[in-house]
Structure 1
Amino acid sequence: MLKGVAWGITLTIAIALISVYALLHSGMIPANADTKPGGLELWMAGTSLDATLDRYAPKERNPVALTDQNLLEGVRLFRENCAVCHGSAKGTNSPSPIAKGEYPRPPQLATDGVEDDPEGHSFWKIKHGIRLTGMPSFGYTLKDEQIWTLALFLKHMDKLPPVVQKTWLKVRNWPVTPPGQTGQK
């Protein structure tokens, strides 16, 4: 009796694995970036990201102090590295041609908001990227201090001091502003 149950379980698992394999190789599950993923895919991706952030994102306080100068540096870093996908300040945050071609669409951070995210979560996402979303890892191009500066700006982008807000409102998301240029008219 126990032997029959074990064979039944083994056969069920084998059939399930073969079915999943056949489904994946049939091309029936879309891999293109211009269609909406299914509910299972969205759930798996969201659950995985949440668990990864809970496990690996830094828990310590942001080592970059909250100053106007650091927030201005955050605006500069955002303009040069993030605005092309994540938009710019309210009123001018329509997705760029690059962002329109990504799926899932990158959040337009001025309106979709990340101010309630822990800074450690923003740091981790910027440093390591998010697999299969188009969000690259900036850990190879930005120093940790720069990434923390971006995390600081993101945390406070909805309540910036006037001098920083004035600069933020001038940021454009398209065309891309080369590093070292202001991107302001």
Structure 2
Amino acid sequence: MKRLKPFIIGAAGGIFGLVLLPLSGMLPISAVPGPPAIIDWYLNMAAQQSIALRSLEIAVPELDDREKIQRGAGHYEMVCADCHGSPTHPASTLADTLSPPPPLLTERMQQWHPSQRIFFTVKHGIRRTAMPGWPSQMRDDEVWDMVAFIEALPQITPEDYAALTPGDARNDCARCHGNNGEGPLPGVPRLDIQSPAYLEMALKSFRDGMRQSGTMIAASRGLTNTEISELAAHFGRSRDLPPGNETTGAAIARSGIPDRDIPACASCHNSEARAEYPRLAGQDIDYLRTQLELFAEYGAERGGPNAHIMAEIARELSQDDIEALAAYFGR
């Protein structure tokens, strides 16, 4: 015990010093880089090691996917490019005045960390910096789209970037959903098959934080009720599209699965769907699959006024059922 006493005293002194240091006011907290440089080094090292430790067990999906890259590009142009620059335009003047300035990802990505660390940084952000976390912590699919894009960023030419992000800042919706809501990008929902009333309800749910999607929360956050109504009227057309061929999905859609208490999808989602229920026929297959999987995994937390209804149904669906339904209703 006597031999351990110096170590115990030293440990106690170290803990006391860690408590005393912030209380003393001597630890600099200025965002402006400068002396002592060791403080900047210490905080940066702490952040990097924290990210490295917490990203060790993250499984990386296939990222060399044009569709993932394109979905990530649309969100990057809408939210990230003003601070981090893009192949077609530099960072905004405001970003140039920040201290320290945001890194230019067109250059930084050539030296940045493995995919797991990029994912962790994009999803969770970095405390006490301008780097925020993803608006929805349950939408890892969206985060991986962003990782796929920024990993590809150093090789993307201005011409490629322009093709990946058509439109301009006044046309963010059309960049992903098409000029008329026809949904040209796989994994992104069609809007032109929905009623204006449903689109208005969905946009308000995203804006008010009731429904989970980091991409759509960012897109809708600044919209007024009037702007939402105008967008819904423009994109919503209540177009009737025929569903797919006779399959297992058709049987579930028309009759449900009685022994599992799964009702017929058509009872709520047919061409005469009520305003609060979306139409499914002609929707993007990948989008339908993702939404059913989100309901099955997160239940009512997925968000939306009627999420509790779909949560009970989706939990009873097998992955084969989900694939069959997506193939039946999807284009």
TM-score normalised by length of structure 2: 0.43
Question: What whole-Å deviation, never above 9, does each CA across 1:23-60 have from its counterpart, x for those lacking one?
Answer: 2111111123223543322222222222222x24x323
Q: Name the residue aligned to 1:97.
A: 94
Q: Name the residue aligned to 2:144.
A: 148
**2:42 matches 1:40:** yes
**2:155 matches 1:159:** yes
The structure whose RCO (Cα within 8 Å, separation 6+) is larger is 1
Alpha-carbon separation, structure 2, partners of 1:170 and 1:178: 9
Q: Name the residue aligned to 1:129.
A: 125
- Unmatched runs of 5 consecutive residues or more in structure 1: none
Alpha-carbon separation, structure 1, partners of 2:50 and 2:171: 34
The letter for the 2-side match of 1:137 is G
* CA distance 1:131–1:177, change in 2 (3 Å): farther
The letter for the 2-side match of 1:66 is D
- Higher alpha-carbon Rg: 2
The one of 81, 96, 112 equivalent to 2:108 is 112
TM-score normalised by length of structure 1: 0.70
* CA distance 1:108–1:170, change in 2 (3 Å): farther
The RMSD of aligned alpha carbons is: 3.5
* CA distance 1:74–1:20, change in 2 (3 Å): closer
Alpha-carbon separation, structure 2, partners of 1:139 and 1:10: 44
Question: What whole-Å deviation, never above 9, does each CA across 1:120-170 have from its counterpart, x for those lacking one?
Answer: 433332222223332211151883332222222112223337853334699
Q: Name the residue aligned to 2:59.
A: 59
* CA distance 1:23–1:168, change in 2 (3 Å): same
Alpha-carbon separation, structure 2, partners of 1:18 and 1:131: 24
* CA distance 1:79–1:46, change in 2 (3 Å): same
The one of 161, 173, 194 equivalent to 1:180 is 173
- Unmatched runs of 5 consecutive residues or more in structure 2: 176-331
Q: Name the residue aligned to 1:71.
A: 69
- In 2, are the aligned partners of 1:89 and 1:171 still within 8 Å (CA)? no
SS class of match (2:155): coil
The one of 21, 24, 37 equivalent to 2:22 is 24
Alpha-carbon separation, structure 1, partners of 2:42 and 2:112: 26
Alpha-carbon separation, structure 1, partners of 2:77 and 2:132: 16
Identical positions, percent: 20
The letter for the 2-side match of 1:93 is P
Alpha-carbon separation, structure 2, partners of 1:166 and 1:73: 13
- In 1, are the aligned partners of 2:32 and 2:99 still within 8 Å (CA)? yes
